[in-house]
Chains A and B, each alone.
Chain A
């Protein structure tokens, strides 16, 4: 039996702009996924701990503070360190196009920048994230 996809929507770092994260969280929930939202001001350690404890399939990071290069890398590193490199990491926020290839190379699977239709995020997840069997 397949279970519902579980997705962690996380706001790492210090910025308080949570409009995007909350819109995404709600759109994913409305699409039938199980969504866990971390709330604001999370360290990469807190995000990875939540991802492990909640046993999520996908970690979606929202970053508008300009610290994306540092924060994505930290989350990916800690996931790997904890043997959870199979969790799909995606993200969104204010991310300059120049930074996108570098982030993808590090292991971020998809990045959704301003103007994204939430249905595109839902479609991408349906296509690219496989729920694990119970």
Chain B
């Protein structure tokens, strides 16, 4: 205590910065926000430019959707987990698919060995999709599906399951990720080259914009961009940059921007730096609103609104002292709520080891419920609005992200930038810089490079047996035996014709999946027409 007054005289010599290495000042004052116009830049919640949130009353009117990501083993296994989560108060389903499904392979393909049902649920044909949603009325819940390269196929299967439940496509609500550009930038589960991939995706978006007014047809995702190592501003810029590319493509195809823009949604990561994250959500809303209104001349206020799902940062979790991850997740979830998210997934404490156990998922869900019902932060809208610090950060981040988007425009757009390796290179540079900062202790990670415990008792982790792979292979061969081989063949030939022409692919894909053509078969048609994409492998 003796030297406390001494220390209060000035800052310690070290620099203070955010997680993304943005220098921050000791004290923020009205001078820091003097350039901001309170009406034009901050405004009111529920009004352009939506800095303070997209709804007037925010969580007073309705809480965010608590949406935990789930999927493992076969469709029956995941159906059970879905029902467990729904019975514990989850409000929407969120489907994790396994690696072979994400990459468009059937489980009997050699490269699928060892991965079937391990990291998500294996869906190879409509038969699996029927089992996945068995006993779950699709008009009563909303579903999110994290699928990208083969999104059009899974979307068609979902529509077909709806039909079997007697539902029209316009009665189905939910979100399909379907963000192919971020696959080339960060997540890297691609199938066809970028240009063809965008065409396949936009055919689906076009179809959904006409047939499924309640469906979000792209969830433009920064999550994977951040997890791959991007800073908060890079996440903001590359994600909104992808959004710009989709809107440009839609307009180029002759779609009315106000018809499809209201069905675009976003997905952001929430990392540990509390204020940087809150500011990121606020900056994202303002920047998107301005892009949509000023650049794309959208007229419908719903086209201006950036609606987002958020997920706490998987990459921030540590294998060391794993219970600390509950605390990290709480801080991150709180930042997402204070940033005004519409939907949230909280990670489980054991995810640096494996997919979560039921107990770990329950704690993660309870974290959201405690924030919603006990913390009191839902009582007022955008409580940090007007904070000199948060407004100043919001403004800086928006301007920096804008500058990156301008740079991408100058390169000729996002497809060209990806082709040049620009976002990929920027992200890996940031990842490497951060790793250095951790290794030199410039950034402290509790339990990893400081406050380390020598002996740690092991925690229980979820084991997923290879049994799922056997069951999946068996079901696939049964489906192939039962279906009408001639009709499958015809539907795939028809699809190939559509792919080679400029016809919208969605009706042909729908027809093929209803004949129980497999995911791998449909994707093989795409590969035969469009080719496959190979990793350039730069590091």
Contacts and interface: CB of A to CB of B under 8 A. Distances in A.
B111 interface: yes
Contacts of B353: 94, 96-97
A30 B165 CA distance: 58
A65 B319 contact: no
Chain B interface size, under 10 / 10 to 19 / 20 to 34 / 35 or more? 35 or more
Per DSSP, chain B at the interface is loop
B432 A26 contact: yes
Interface in B175-189: 183, 187-189
B251 interface: no
Nearest to B536: A39
A74 B113 CA distance: 10
A19 B118 contact: no
B189 A16 contact: yes
Contact of B118 (A16, A41, A65): A65
B534 interface: yes
Interface in B433-454: 435, 438-439, 445, 448-449
B102 interface: yes
A131 interface: no
Q: How large is the interface on A (under 10, 10 to 19, 20 to 34, 35 or more residues)?
A: 35 or more
A37 B103 contact: no
A25 B439 CA distance: 16
Contacts, number: 110
Contact of B439 (A14, A65, A74, A118): A118
B228 interface: yes
A37 B537 CA distance: 7
A118 B340 CA distance: 37
Interface stretch (A51-59, A77-85, A109-117): A109-117
A7 B228 CA distance: 23
A17 to B, nearest CB: 8
Contacts of A65: 99, 115, 118-119
B352 interface: yes
Given A41-B535, A98-B458, A19 B111 contact: no
Contact of B115 (A13, A37, A97): A13
The 9 closest A-B pairs by CB, nearest first: A70-B114, A16-B188, A39-B537, A39-B535, A14-B99, A67-B114, A66-B118, A22-B539, A40-B535
Interface of A: 9, 13-19, 21-23, 25-27, 37-41, 43, 65-67, 69-71, 74, 94, 96-98, 113-115, 117-119
Given A14-B99, A65-B118, A115-B448, 6 more contacts: A19-B428, A39-B534, A39-B536, A67-B115, A69-B114, A98-B461
29 contacts: A9-B539, A14-B112, A15-B119, A16-B183, A16-B189, A17-B227, A18-B228, A23-B435, A26-B432, A37-B537, A38-B537, A39-B537, A43-B111, A65-B99, A65-B115, A66-B119, A66-B464, A67-B99, A67-B118, A70-B113, A74-B114, A94-B354, A97-B458, A98-B458, A114-B352, A115-B445, A117-B439, A118-B439, A119-B439
